[in-house]
Amino acid sequence: MDQHIAETAGYHDEQWHSHGHQKESFVTKYIFSQDHKTIAKQFLITGMFWAVVGGALSSVFRLQLGYPDMSLEWLRPILGGWITETGQLDPEFYLAMITMHGTIMVFFVLTAGLSGTFSNFLIPLQIGARDMASGFLNMLSYWFFFASSVVMLISFFLETGPASGGWVIYPPLSALPQAMQGSQGGMTLWLVSMAIFIVSSLLGSINYITTIINLRTKGMTFTRLPLTIWAFFLTAVIGVLSFPVLFSAALLLIFDRSFGTSFYLSDIYIAGEALSHQGGSAILFQHLFWFLGHPEVYIVMLPGLGITSEIIATNSRKPIFGYRAMIGSLLAISVLSFIVWAHHMFVTGMNPFLGSIFMILTLIIAVPSAVKVFNYLATLWRANIRFTPGMLFSIGLVSFFISGGLTGIYLGNSAIDIQLHDTYFIVAHFHLVMGAASFFGMLAGVYHWFPKMFGRMMDAKLGYIHFWLTFVGVYLIFFPMHYIGIAGFPRRYYSWTNFDVFNSFTDLNIFVTIAAIAVMASQFIFLFNFFYSMFKGRVAPANPWKSNTLEWTTPIRPEHGNWPGTIPNVYRWPYDYSKPGAEDDFIPQNVPFSQTLESNFPHENDLIGLEKEEEGIVIDENETH
């Protein structure tokens, strides 16, 4: 045991001093930095850039859906040839835009932007480590992400446009260049970009898991970890297991596209001509894709849930309700997420018996999800709530998780799904439960940890305005979509005005479009607040939210290495808020029980002896030098 501690401490030491003493130049400090905090900010800024691009795309295609006759001539300076002679949006470019919107939001914003930012920033700070297990691989992870971003961006400027087959890139549409313009160069770049993205994501995840398992400070047992860390940990585990499968799917697609194999292709006629591809199966792609695809939706969701647990407990001034149940439900969700993928494939002609099995497994996921919701509500119940902007966004997340999760239960039933599949009902479901909820998790995280990131506070008033406009707006956008979807309105259609049945929805579509553009516009309040506060915001106190976790024990602007002296030890779980008998309404994790005799429970008093013993074998990091 002693030896083990010495080993880890020695490791810390060696790693830390190898770069701690060097003078950092601008390039090593801000560009090719190996400091997890800087890398986190790089992910955040890149993610924000992509969020703006993805949002702008959605505004344009919402205009098309709300006002199909509108002249978009004013977009010609940007979109050029994609605006037709009559001033309309090119139908193929419409498909390109929804494809890019989905890809950007799911992978670049809510995977890289969210996990990349908060896993990087919070893991070392909250577990008490100097940095990630490998700063170098961490840096590579960002630059691979950057490279994949560049490739994806380039695809916008191809003459034939970016990929257009939907974010799920189903073959044969995506496999045959002659099928549509977007399946030419754009699709190739999409695949290249995603292959690089997968490498980036794997490097990141491997680092997160290794760091959490190996570099926790003394006393930080798994049952004392903040729920944020549990969520990031399981997100990374899901990533390591599922992204390689997307790689396989993409690789076979690359072979089909560029080398003429037939993994996904068979019996295809284009323009009356038979293709030579024989023996493949398009359904095979769907299996491979959704084996990643469903875990991916939880890769997007879990970090937000972790962030929310932390923020809700802190601002309710109460211990999180059911800490172990929260961990258990995260574990259950992670395991189950790998065995439900075929609920995206109920209409592929699968054996109804198999369909029923996937239906039952899918519905079981609702149980751990409901446990989480119940625990959030129980934590909020009769709490002394402080409505900080971060808290509001966290509560917003819970609201979206409920309303979007409920429709998931409908969709999980194959008999209902066969009617609702590929309608706007699906769009409503996943935008609430995944899109809006994770976005709110990300925003909550930014508001909450901004003081730690930049040493300044964001403006709370602007935060409130931002919250209410966005929260109400999101419901105004996505609630009506349920009705349109139940009526059978298909998703991914450029125009519906040729169908008489759907003409009665014109007003509703206009309404949704206005709400969408309003929400998009209110995000600029956030962007202003973010960049303004970075330079001009009120200087932050050391622990602005009176929180228990370790990151608030660092200096206000931590240097590379995080703690100037030794790393604090941990003696308790992170949720000792409003403990009866305690002086303050919070007791940070690094306060030993021997200093809080007035509030200890009997079994905690028993731990005091242990604390003393352990103190004897603490190895001072600098001692080895």
Partner 1 sequence: MHPHKFALWLFIVSILMIFASMTSAFIVKQGDGSWLDYNLPSMFWFTTAVIITSSGLLQWGYFAAKQDQLKKLKILLAFTIVLGLVFLVGQWYSWVQLVSMDVFFVGNPGGSFIYVLTGLHAFHLISGILFLIIVLISALKNKVHSKNLVRIEMCATYWHFLGALWVYLLVFLVFYH
Q: Choose among Cu ion, ligand HEM, partner 1, none what residue 260 binds, the Cβ cut-off being 5 to 8 Å by kind.
A: partner 1
Q: Compute the distance between CA of residue 315 and CA of residue 388 in angstroms, rounded to an integer.
A: 8
10 Å Cβ neighbour count for 602?
6
Q: Compute the distance between CA of residue 598 and CA of residue 611 in angstroms, rounded to an integer.
A: 17
Q: Where are the alpha helices (DSSP H) in 455-589?
A: 460-486, 506-536
Please tell me whether residue 101 binds ligand HEM under the rule CB under 6 A.
no
Asked if residues 598 and 583 have their Cβ atoms less than 8 Å apart, the reply is: yes
Please tell me whether residue 571 binds partner 1 under the rule CB under 8 A.
no
Asked if residues 428 and 370 have their Cβ atoms less than 8 Å apart, the reply is: no
Asked if residues 450 and 533 have their Cβ atoms less than 8 Å apart, the reply is: yes
Which residue's CB is nearer to partner 1, number 384 or number 624? 624
Shortest spacing between CB 371 and ligand HEM, in angstroms: 12
Asked if residues 145 and 109 have their Cβ atoms less than 8 Å apart, the reply is: no
Q: Choose among partner 1, ligand HEM, Cu ion, none what residue 243 binds, the Cβ cut-off being 5 to 8 Å by kind.
A: partner 1
Asked if residues 217 and 129 have their Cβ atoms less than 8 Å apart, the reply is: yes
Instruction: Report how far Cα 534 is from the mean position of its chain's Cα atoms.
Output: 23
**Which residue in the shown chain puts its C-beta closest to ligand HEM?**
408
Of 425-444, which residues contact ligand HEM (CB under 6 A)? 426, 429-430, 433-434
Q: CA dihedral defined by 474, 468, 375, 416, rounded to 10 degrees? A: -20
Please tell me whether residue 300 binds ligand HEM under the rule CB under 6 A.
yes
Residues that contact Cu ion, how many (by CB under 5 A): 1
Shortest spacing between CB 294 and ligand HEM, in angstroms: 8
DSSP for 355-373, written as a single string: HHHHHHHHHHHHHHHHHHH
Please, what sign has the CA dihedral across residues 353, 354, 357, 362? negative
Q: Compute the distance between CA of residue 58 and CA of residue 100 in angstroms, rounded to an integer.
A: 10
Q: Compute the distance between CA of residue 585 and CA of residue 1 in angstroms, rounded to an integer.
A: 35
CA angle, 113 as apex, 543 and 529 as ends, to 5°?
A: 55
Given 185, 303, 389, 408, the residue binding ligand HEM (CB under 6 A): 408
Which residue's CB is nearer to ligand HEM, number 161 or number 405? 405
Which residue's CB is nearer to partner 1, number 287 or number 492? 287
Listed residue (33, 36, 212) closest to 121, CA to CA: 36
Shortest spacing between CB 553 and partner 1, in angstroms: 23
Q: Choose among ligand HEM, partner 1, Cu ion, none what residue 241 binds, the Cβ cut-off being 5 to 8 Å by kind.
A: partner 1
Please tell me whether residue 209 binds partner 1 under the rule CB under 8 A.
yes
- The 3-state DSSP composition of the chain as helix, strand, coil percent (nearest 5) reads 70, 0, 30
Shortest spacing between CB 300 and partner 1, in angstroms: 19
Shortest spacing between CB 334 and ligand HEM, in angstroms: 12
Please tell me whether residue 366 binds ligand HEM under the rule CB under 6 A.
yes
Q: Choose among partner 1, Cu ion, ligand HEM, none what residue 405 binds, the Cβ cut-off being 5 to 8 Å by kind.
A: ligand HEM
Given 12, 62, 294, 372, the residue binding Cu ion (CB under 5 A): 294
Given 101, 216, 344, 560, the residue binding ligand HEM (CB under 6 A): 344
Please tell me whether residue 288 binds ligand HEM under the rule CB under 6 A.
no
Which two structure tokens, joined as six digits, stand for 413?
A: 């039933």
Please tell me whether residue 247 binds partner 1 under the rule CB under 8 A.
yes
Given 308, 362, 379, 562, the residue binding ligand HEM (CB under 6 A): 362
Q: Which residues would be at the binding site for partner 1 (CB under 8 A)?
A: 11, 133-134, 137, 202, 205-207, 209-211, 213-215, 240-245, 247-249, 251-252, 255, 259-263, 266, 278-281, 284, 287-288, 291
Q: Which residues would be at the binding site for ligand HEM (CB under 6 A)?
A: 168, 297, 300-301, 343-344, 362, 365-366, 369, 405, 408-409, 411-412, 417, 421, 426, 429-430, 433-434
Q: Which residues would be at the binding site for Cu ion (CB under 5 A)?
A: 294
